[in-house]
Amino acid sequence: MEENIITQTQIAFHNLNGLINGIAMDGHITKSEFDALKSWCQTHDGLCSIDPFKDFHEEVKEKIRSGVLGSEEIIELQQIIAKYSPLFEEKDQIKADLHFLQGVCYGIMADGDINKYELNLLQKWLTDHDHLKDTYPFNEITAVVKKAIDAGKIEQEEYKYLTKYFLEFLKID
């Protein structure tokens, strides 16, 4: 049971790391992105029975409790992530990267908009992590993002397709 909680805390940590990075990609922080962070905190309240997640969760919650979330607070959240990162390392780096990627996709979608700038940054991350290239669903996300970028402009059709695909990816464990 304790190993299961540790695994859940690692997944939650990497998802939040990705969520924060996904939110920060376009340089604008909206109320819906702030709400996504609040939702992450509420969703993971049940994992606060063991340290170090309890302390980590409390620091994150404290940072968003004020109701203000700007670029300074994002930087502070990234510093909290960096501080706790060694405590939530996963033995399987591929899983850690996929959990991070799930968070990034959630962060990109949190404001209800997927723009070309975010997709370019996501594509850079995908390229930098090509050790995942043969791993599902990484290989599919890479193709979906490339297709959207190659289209040149994210029209309603591409937006719907990306949203649908990202939502499917977020369901994967």
The pLDDT score that the predictor gives to residue 169 is 78
- Distance (Å, rounded) from C-alpha 140 to C-alpha 123? 12
pTM attached to this predicted model: 0.90
Regions of the chain with pLDDT less than 70? 1-3, 5-6, 172-173
- Distance (Å, rounded) from C-alpha 106 to C-alpha 38? 13
The pLDDT score that the predictor gives to residue 172 is 53
